[in-house]
Amino acid sequence: MVSNIPEESTTFIGRRAELHRIGNDLTEHRLVTLTGPGGVGKTRIAMRAARAAAPRFRDGVCWADLWPLQGDGRLVAGVCDAVGLADHSARTPVAALCEWLADRRLLLVLDSCEHLVEACRDLLGDLLTAAPGVTVLVTSRQPLDIVGEWTTEIGPLSCTGDNDALALFTERAGTAAPGRRLTAPRSVAAAAAICRRLEGIPLALELAGAQLAHSSVERIAARLTSRFDALDGDGPVQPPRHRTLRCAIGWSHELCAPLERLLWARLSVFRGTFDEESASAVCAGGPLTGPGVRTALAGLAAKSVLSREGSRFRMLDTLREYGRMWLAELAESRTLADRHAAHFAALGRRAEQGWLGPEQLAWYRRIADAHVDLCTALDHFLATDPEQAQELSASIGFFWSCCGHLHEARDYVARALAAHPGPGPARTRALWTLGVAVLLQGDLASAEALGRECARAARESRDTEAVLQAGYLIGLTHLMAGRPMSAHTVVAQVLGPPPHAPFDSPGRLRCHLVQIFALTGLGRLGEARAEATALRRGCEQRGEYWTRSYTDYQLSLISLFQDRPEESAEHARAMLAAKQGIGDKFGIALGLDLLAAAVAAQGDGAAAARVSGSGQAVWRTVGHPQRGTPELRAVRAQCEQRARAAIGDEAYADAFHQASEEGPGTALPRILAGDL
């Protein structure tokens, strides 16, 4: 059982009755929605409820953060990420997701659905029908209004009796001002007054508690009372909760330094988490300098406007909405959206340029961290500058295709090509990127057509790198179709006569890799081994991972063919370690197949069955039957035959099934550690 429930960064106070009720609800209903205003604590309660319910679900808990998603189009992709599905098929994402979950027994949590209500309603209508073992817990400011939905309203913390509101405020105040204790009667009374005035709304209490770093509890209570009294006018003494939270946020905003307020507004343009470099690049300007951004970030974090997640920052939706309102007041909304998109376009270019260098692995991780904001930038460019959308989608499309965002890569590149049909370097690169995506989905005919179109455009523009990339795409398509001679001929033509310098460019390096695959497919194993060994050495020297992992793939395969199973297993493990670092599930599945074959060739049938089962579990996450170059089919068949002969059919089936039910996230580290 594997769960991805977010870790809690602060202590959890109260909510015993709510958690007990939600636990019962999840037993009796398949769709439970926690409703309530922003800042009331729905997400934290959902975390606790999901963690408590997890043992009841064989396949664990899958948590999907929906708060960063902009527009209905990314909902299914976000849920696929949460459940570990990196689909490489040409099916619709909804169909792939429903099939993936059909036999699962898990709890799916959709957090912050209020801006995607209609899309969530449509998705869950399909999902709950297709996957009878799935239970869904939703947090939203409003119900989804779907048949079978059970709604539980989450209210504020109690300000009487156990007074959980006071406990929360006191705890957060202690964090903001270590060593200062609210024990004197006057301080306790002031803290209780703050809790009542803020009606026990957790986010409001967190913001107020953070002010203890700079002020006394008595002064905070007095200022807060003055502010609410001024706003109340002739209205009721207790304003509605949404107004209470808005007033508390506004009060916290007023207590920020002017540059902190400016940064708050500008940071609202980010949809996901962000680092200091991105914040400075997008938000610096005018009175807010680069060093000023660093200072203001620290100030906003200290005031609980931002939360830290490692080296990155996050702003809660409710606070982002307030910042966006002020950004509009400053008439900077379009300017910041342009700067945000330009920054992530530059990030994409730098990532593409750094793909071949020693920072390749770091770039894969940075592209993964920035995924939501890269999508936001692409959406902006599709509406304002389609040629830039082509440029950005081409820059990051290969990263996405390798790391489980194949549907999004294909969708964004196709939309960018349709939006700007005119010729140009960006279009040629986008054609290549789209061709790689459709090829990885198994659409060989479309990949071949795109390869030819890309090659024509490259020749017409005399773009040497584009010619190489087109050669790689066409050659790889031939390999996948079982035509190694054609693949070898194509890449030999684009590479030209020796001597070769494979590391001159990404396209040249990839063509050399296709050449090695083709030599293996043609049975020229000695040449293939020599070429792969030399290429691998060059990759190691340069800190390159992607190509190196596939040279290990070829060396593992060649070693099997040459009856060197120990060497084959060593190269398969090296491939798996590299693919794990990149996040390439397709490559991990291939590597596990090879490792199983190598282990079977050494006579360990039980270990081979277990590794094969683990490989099957990963193949399910990429959404199609085992695939790879055609010669791998015979390797898989021989692996199973050897393993069954060694331990018997029944023992093989038991070991395979048990391993196939284990989560890939648990199995792979164990296998890499040598525990087969």
CA 297 vs. chain centroid, Å, equals 24
Evaluate if residue 233 carries a pLDDT over 80.
no
Residue at token pair 């991990």: 588
Cβ neighbours, 10 Å, residue 604:
21
Tens of pLDDT, residues 107-162: 999 999 999 999 999 999 999 999 999 999 999 999 999 999 999 999 999 988 77
Q: Once rounded to an integer, what is the mean pLDDT over residues 414-429?
A: 94
DSSP bridge pairs for 285: 288
- pLDDT score, position 536: 97
The residues, any chain, with a CB within 8 Å of residue 383's CB and separated by 6 or more, are: none
Tens of pLDDT, residues 512-562: 999 999 999 999 999 999 999 999 999 999 999 999 999 999 999 999 999
The residues, any chain, with a CB within 8 Å of residue 599's CB and separated by 6 or more, are: 565, 569, 607, 608, 611, 676
Q: How confident is the model at residue 227 (pLDDT cuts 50, 70, 90)?
A: low
- pLDDT score, position 49: 96
Rounded CA-CA distance 313/294 in Å is 12
**Among positive and negative, which fits the CA dihedral 297, 299, 304, 309?**
positive
AA letter at 328: A
How high does pLDDT run on average in the chain? 91
Q: How confident is the model at residue 236 (pLDDT cuts 50, 70, 90)?
A: very low
Residue at token pair 């409710």: 318
Of 503, 574, 578, the C-alpha closest to 545 is: 578
Evaluate if residue 608 carries a pLDDT over 90.
yes
Q: Once rounded to an integer, what is the mean pLDDT over residues 480-507?
A: 94
Q: Under a CB-based contact definition with an 8 Å cutoff, are residues 581 and 45 in contact?
A: no
The DSSP H or E segment spanning 50 is helix 42-53
Given 3-state DSSP classes, what are the helix, strand and coil percentages for the chain, each rounded to the nearest 5? 70, 5, 25
* Percent with pLDDT over 90 in the chain: 73
DSSP state of 157: P
- pLDDT score, position 418: 96
Tokens of 24: 């019962």
3-state secondary structure of 570: helix
Q: How confident is the model at residue 627 (pLDDT cuts 50, 70, 90)?
A: low
As to burial, measured by CB atoms within 10 angstroms (0-12 exposed, 13-18 middle, 19+ buried), residue 99 is: middle
Evaluate if residue 234 carries a pLDDT over 80.
no
**What's the distance, Cα to Cα, between the start and end of the chain in Å?**
19
- pLDDT score, position 628: 66
Evaluate if residue 333 carries a pLDDT over 90.
yes
Q: Once rounded to an integer, what is the mean pLDDT over residues 356-384?
A: 95
Evaluate if residue 241 carries a pLDDT over 90.
no
Rounded CA-CA distance 84/663 in Å is 10
pTM value?
0.91
Rounded CA-CA distance 413/640 in Å is 40
Evaluate if residue 232 carries a pLDDT over 60.
no
Q: Under a CB-based contact definition with an 8 Å cutoff, are residues 41 and 202 in contact?
A: yes
Q: Check residues 185 and 508 and name the one with the higher pLDDT.
A: 508
3-state secondary structure of 88: coil
Evaluate if residue 203 carries a pLDDT over 50.
yes
DSSP state of 7: P
Q: Under a CB-based contact definition with an 8 Å cutoff, are residues 330 and 268 in contact?
A: no
AA letter at 2: V
Among 193-197, 448-452, 453-457, 655-659, the range scoring the smallest mean pLDDT is 193-197
Q: Under a CB-based contact definition with an 8 Å cutoff, are residues 209 and 304 in contact?
A: yes
- pLDDT score, position 571: 97
Evaluate if residue 319 carries a pLDDT over 90.
yes
- pLDDT score, position 625: 61
What long-range pairs does 74-82 form, CB within 8 A, spacing at least 24? 74/372, 74/375, 74/408, 75/116, 75/119, 75/120, 75/123, 76/123, 77/405, 77/407, 77/408, 79/108, 79/110, 79/123, 80/407, 81/404, 82/4, 82/108
- pLDDT score, position 230: 54
Evaluate if residue 394 carries a pLDDT over 90.
yes
As to burial, measured by CB atoms within 10 angstroms (0-12 exposed, 13-18 middle, 19+ buried), residue 505 is: middle
Among 567-581, 583-597, 627-641, the range scoring the smallest mean pLDDT is 627-641
Concatenated DSSP letters of 284-316: -BTTB-HHHHHHHHHHHHHTTSEEEETTEEEE-
Tokens of 403: 């790391």
Tens of pLDDT, residues 88-97: 888 899 999 9
